[in-house]
Chains A and B, each alone.
Chain A
């Protein structure tokens, strides 16, 4: 069967061995340390329970006004339109308008409603996606100390809503998403693009009657299955390890697999598709560079807020916490949109690859022109 043949082609390579070692290393160094001891139930009477992003008007108004003033003086504003980091500089006209906003912010008394309007106005001037937009405002400027009740509520969510495993599964996806799912599959994808050539398969494959569409899609999903295999096995290992850590609680034993499928799989798909497409296009492993640059942007674009950092177009959504389920659930809509988008994008990219492959088979070259000279047309065979 073609699928198994293609699967073995990826799985039997030295590249795949190094890939597996990297996946295991990511698990052991990043996620495994979180499994050393269970999350403790909060006890009353402590001095510090950490902080929580919560809409507290007095804090929010003071901190956000100060933040805007600082960016105004710096003449540069951080923004994340579409989830990518941008440094925005305002034109003179807009700077004047921003000054008016700031002036009004320092008037007394200022109602909370008017303050929120002014924040929206500031965000509009910056061009959207700034720290003052509705989605980010509270998260950036209203971090208040957690009370015992807050901490307890969070713990209850972890225990009963997430049934323990949900929290760990999200953390697993967070750590594996940074490297394993977002860039490493691009290497396997790029290998698909140049493998035919190495194995001198071109002449054989190009002449065969298998439709390009069937071949490329099968090849893609076979390599994807190979890439996903160690992740699924580690999800199983994690399920067992977490189970041992919480022997007396009710556990959601499918959480790791559900989260990995929903969160990591689309990311692996798009990474592999980029690797494959560009390598077919250029006949060189260029896909690695393209995905590498995208990955660098995605990594540098993160603001330091690593929980609930889930934009609609983030390649790497982050939620680096076992707790804060509420914050995550608030953005589950974003994540669903995001993952659907990337799934469709990756399928589109694979489809494009089939187009390129078909053109090469017909002797019309992309990248190098080598096939034009010695590849017979399908009808000649």
Chain B
């Protein structure tokens, strides 16, 4: 991939494929302080808005990475291009992740400004939960070639956490662990998210 190509691919994708979803994610972030009172929260309570609401931005941004190629016509066209469409997908995934991180960074700063006891650990933990939800949606949408299905699977994964941590093996995948004072689960979520992304690329190859 030449540098000029890369720049064009980046710009076009950012504008048409990323911006609408990023704006939707920003909208959700703007609603978060309305849903959760974000003011002078202690270390544990600070995790609530980050894990329980803001983590959904991962689902919003990462699920539609392969949305443009969902239409067969477009898929056929891009497959014959010299730049592999999987490489373009990877590129989209990377900047989507960057977008998610930016939203989290801004929100954590906002919380800090409102005297919440937030640390880099909160930032990392929140991003990992978002990445995991996003990776589930990314995999489901990518493999089924149906982005709505991706959203549904990711959303179901999210709501299944509301009854509290699952038992045994499933407890390791608890999305809201920081709100319960534990960070251990985040390693599992990160690892599983990475495996899902890798598998999706492998299957779509």
Residues of chain A touching chain B, judged by Cβ–Cβ distance below 8 Å, are 13-15, 18-19, 22, 29, 87, 179, 183-184, 187, 190-191, 194, 197-198, 200, 282, 284-286, 288-289, 292-293, 296-297, 300
Contacts and interface: CB of A to CB of B under 8 A. Distances in A.
Nearest to A368: B16
A14 B31 contact: no
A50 B185 CA distance: 38
A286 to B, nearest CB: 7
A297 B31 CA distance: 9
Contact of A15 (B56, B60, B148): B148
Contacts of A282: 20
Contacts, number: 59
A179 B28 contact: no
Given A19-B152, A22-B156, A197-B71, A286 B37 contact: no
Contacts of B20: 282, 284
Given A14-B146, A187-B151, A187-B152, 5 more contacts: A22-B156, A29-B163, A87-B37, A286-B24, A293-B28
Given A29-B163, A300-B36, A285 B70 contact: no
Interface residues of B, number: 29
Contacts of B73: 200
Interface string B64-103: 0001001111000000000000000000000000000000
Given A29-B163, A297-B35, A300-B35, A194 B148 contact: yes
Contacts of B139: none
B116 interface: no
Contact of A289 (B60, B72, B149): B60
Chain B interface helix/strand/loop/mixed:
helix
Contacts of A284: 20, 67
Contacts of B71: 197-198
B10 interface: no
A14 B53 contact: no
Contacts of B146: 13-15
B67 to A, nearest CB: 8
A88 to B, nearest CB: 13
A207 to B, nearest CB: 18
**Counting chain A CB atoms within 10 Å of each CB, which of B34, B72, B73 scores highest?**
B34
Nearest to A188: B148
Given A198-B70, A292-B56, A292-B155, A285 B148 contact: yes
B101 to A, nearest CB: 20
6 contacts: A187-B148, A194-B148, A200-B72, A286-B24, A292-B155, A297-B31
Nearest to A87: B37
A274 B130 CA distance: 25
A22 B155 CA distance: 11
B62 interface: no
Contacts of A297: 31, 34-35
B147 interface: yes
B200 to A, nearest CB: 16
